[in-house]
Amino acid sequence: MPLATVEQGTLQGIICDHGGGSYVAFKGIPYAKPPIGKLRFKAPEPPESWDGVRDATQHGPICPQYNERMDRIHIGTEDCLYLNVYTKTVTPAKPLPVMVWIHGGSFYTGSGDSDFYGPEFFMMHDVILVTFNYRLEVLGFLCLNNEEVPGNAGLKDQVAALKWVNKNIAVFGGDPNNVTIFGCSAGSGACSLHLISKMSKGLFHKAILQSGVCLSEWCYNIYPTERAFQLGKLLGKETEDSTELLEFLRNEPTSSLVKIQLPILESKFFDLADNIFFGPVIEKSYPNVDNFLTEHPLELVRKGHLADVPIILGYTSGEGIEVARQLPKLMPFLSTTGAVVPRELKLKWPIEQLIEADKKIRNHYFGGKDISAEILKDLVKLESDKLFIYNIIRFARYHTHYNSNPAYLYKFVAETERNYVKKLYNMESVEGVCHSDELHYLFNVTCLDIPLSEESKHIIKDFVRLWTNFAITGNPTPSSTSVQWKQFTEKERNCYTIGKQFTCVQNDNEKNNTLWESIYEESELDVN
């Protein structure tokens, strides 16, 4: 059995066979002290050592959560800060590039376990893959705006995992000087937050952002304390004292802190982004607290506080299916003035400007039609652009304006039997690849019945090669034998289409992007 000795002690892994080859897995490695008892809601502390040989053949516990895909509660445990390391060999001829996956799930669900993020496709290449759990929902993102609970514990868990990787990955044959972070949806939003956080500086060298950046409203919460006190009231503790609330919440069973449903906030304008009740926040600064984020993401990006590393970022062709699938429930909201205007804008604009933008957007996407089932496909396009695509391109523009390292933009368009989420949502009549449906082409999913045909195997092979090429060299298409993926720049907005074939085009989605640049008044970048 393979052994590896890290700072905390010796681990015994397991050899796994796949597709005629094999790889070594070390699972359930603690990267921080269990955040239980008085450590609930607090930043993670360094991991504890152990004596003897620790069994690393099974995953560690996951954070308590509601699993939307499986439609069930995972009881889990708060002692959930564990990671997994996969490698072809612990003794490579030279240190291997490291890819660290940050799972998504709207900051309230998910884990790094191999039932959904199986490493087999990556183990065909000369890289090491690391996956991990972090605290979710209330446990990971409660914010009381005080020194005890400033917020972002789940993001600080991610930093702790990256620090562990930097200190220990060489033991597994990895190169701590060549670490790529990557994620999808909330995991991608988290990756982009690491790009702007001082706490994450120097812990990685490249980033891949799949369908999410920190400029999107769903990636940060602007009502954290309101949500915290709402939660207390929901659970039977009505108070305006944060110390009293903390004492109460620390003693609540974890089952009370999962799948929270809170009422709509009494704010000027309700927004769909506000339905993520607990997520990343802008922290208040305190002398004895290490903060992850103390300024608004938009302000940091506009100032150029972006890690100067190569990035890949992009989107699927039907991102908005994730929202539009709920059209019957959304009709009353969508019929209100301002519903189609991004939260960032409607909270700062006078009502006249809001009304004008609302009309302009509705006319562009709906052509004057009323909200009904007839506009389903148009709503997909609107939400794709509003919640995902515009801010992804916006982030790429700022990155290339300030940084010397390249940005590579992509659109994922492949549709085969592996596009599970779209089928689950009964949205197969709508064009495009649903949000997160590209994941099944990167990871071997065993907890769901997802077929693997010869056609999808071909796409998987080429797709994963792009990602591993980037991790190895910083260029997703270093070989002259493949269609070259040209860099994104302000003048040449190249976009690489990833599907059954690859193409590189300029100005994808140009008409819609131009509209949003005029709405945001950012045809020229707002540089501070």
Q: Dig out the tokens for 70 from the structure.
A: 């499986």
Cβ atoms of 99 and 466 closer than 8 Å: no
Cα separation, 17 vs 20, in Å, equals 7
Alpha-helix runs per DSSP H in 169-208: 186-196
435 catalytic per annotation? yes
Q: Cα dihedral angle (384, 387, 392, 395), rounded to 10 degrees?
A: 160
DSSP string, 335-383: TSTTTTS-HHHHTTS-HHHHHHHHHHHHHHHHTTPPSSGGGHHHHHHHH
d(CA 253, CA 259): 13
Per annotation, catalytic residue among 59, 194, 435, 440: 435
Query: 498: helix, coil or strand?
Result: strand
Q: Answer yes or no: are the C-beta atoms of 390 and 521 closer than 8 Å.
A: no
As a whole number of angstroms, the distance between CA 155 and CA 158 comes to 5
Catalytic (active site) residue 319: yes
Of the residues 106, 111, 114, 185, which is catalytic? 185
Annotated active-site residue in 137, 217, 283, 319: 319
- On the CB side of 425, CA atoms within 13 Å amount to 24
E strand map for 199-290: 206-210
Residue 411 C-alpha from the chain's centroid: 17
State yes or no: is 296 an active-site residue.
Answer: no
341 Cβ contact partners less than 8 Å away, ≥ 6 residues apart: 349, 354, 357, 358, 361, 519
Q: In this structure, how many other beta carbons lie within 10 angstroms of the beta carbon of residue 53?
A: 13
443, 117 in Cβ contact below 8 A? Answer: yes
User: Which active-site residues does the annotation give?
Assistant: 185, 319, 435
